[in-house]
Amino acid sequence: MPWHFLICTNDLPKLTGNDAKVVLFADDTSIIVTISNQGRLPTALKKKLSGIISWLKANFLLFTFNKTYYLEFKTKNCIDITLDINYLNKTLANVPYTKFLDLVIDETLTWDNRIDQLISRLNSVCYAITAEKQCHQGKF
């Protein structure tokens, strides 16, 4: 039940510090880490991940690597660096976009993926409306 999850994770946001924000929704947890110095990013992320995994273990909760990934926000002109986030010989997957509260967010914060998703839905709706109209006109 989602309420049970929220009760268990209620104090998780206190763990992350000033450079991170925990967003809890139903049974999903997102952690947004803000680091201005890109060179400190790998170390800061490993420290956050280690702290979160320790907290989960202390609260008898599991961390599932195959359901955990990260999205690195960057500008279109940003130099692309390879960031490996590892913990206990397991690597977190980097994804180019994610769905957050039914909103598709990509790494450059453009609307391209969301627009593609809406176009697909609108095409389906247009087809249904056209088919319904033709059915009522006796064309089917």
What is the pLDDT tens value at each position of the chain, 140 positions in all? 456 666 666 777 777 777 788 887 777 788 888 877 777 877 888 888 888 888 888 888 888 888 888 888 877 776 666 677 777 788 888 888 888 777 788 888 887 877 888 888 888 888 888 888 777 776 65
pLDDT of residue 90: 82
pLDDT of residue 140: 55
Sign of CA dihedral 111, 117, 123, 125: negative
pLDDT of residue 123: 87
- What percent of the chain is helix, strand and coil (3-state, nearest 5)? 45, 20, 35
Query: Secondary structure of 82-108 in the HEC alphabet?
Result: CCCCEECCEECEECCEEEECCEEEECC
pLDDT of residue 3: 61
| pTM > 0.85 | no
pLDDT of residue 106: 84
- C-alpha closest to that of 87 among 115, 63, 61: 63
pLDDT of residue 112: 82
pLDDT of residue 81: 66
Neighbours of 15 (CB within 10 A): 14
